[in-house]
Amino acid sequence: MRVLIITFALVVSIGSLHAQTAEKVKIEDLQKMVGRSSGKIQVLNFWATWCAPCIKELPLFEQINASRNDIEVSLVSIDLDLDPNPDKVYRFIDRKKLKSKVYILDERDPNTWIDKIDKSWSGAIPATLVVNLKNGKRKFVEKELKAGDLEEIINSVK
């Protein structure tokens, strides 16, 4: 009985540790995400826990995600490229209380997949892809966004 309680407690505590987890995805999943048709606008932001300019611009994405029903925000972490352990990402999501959907890109050899997001991307982050799923218009930017930039990009694909 005692073992059972301890096990139960352990399971619950582990569960609560990862209250906000992030799904691992492949590049094909992201391509499907921006290739599907829907009435919405998909925003893909590439970031990592080690990237200071990425963390600085995150609130802009959180804001859009919270205020606009017509926009789906996906924050794609590329932390795994450098560190096989995703715990840092989970802890970051908890600490910052991120509400947008977070994905962890599970790919190796970036040279094989960077062009599949956008040919103009050098591979530096932050980088953001905005796709209007209604008309297929897309806009890719490789820089840190400042207040107002994201709205401007979203308007440009309308």
Residues near other proteins (CB under 8 A) are 50-51, 53, 78, 81-84, 108-111, 114-115, 119-126, 142-144
Tell me whether residue 16 or residue 109 sits nearer to other proteins (CB atom). Answer: 109
Which tokens hold the place of 41? 């606008």
Tell me whether residue 35 or residue 53 sits nearer to other proteins (CB atom). Answer: 53
User: Phi and psi at residue 138, in whole multiples of 5°?
Assistant: -135, 155
CB of 38 to other proteins, least distance (A): 27
CB of 2 to other proteins, least distance (A): 42
* Single-letter residue type at 65: N
CB of 12 to other proteins, least distance (A): 33
Residues 118-150, buried b or exposed e (16+ Cβ, 10 A)? beebeeebbbbbbbbbeeeebbbbbebbeeeeb
CB of 118 to other proteins, least distance (A): 11
Q: How far is CA 141 from the centre of its chain?
A: 15
Tell me whether residue 39 or residue 109 sits nearer to other proteins (CB atom). Answer: 109
Tell me whether residue 98 or residue 125 sits nearer to other proteins (CB atom). Answer: 125
Pairing of strands 138-141, 127-132: antiparallel
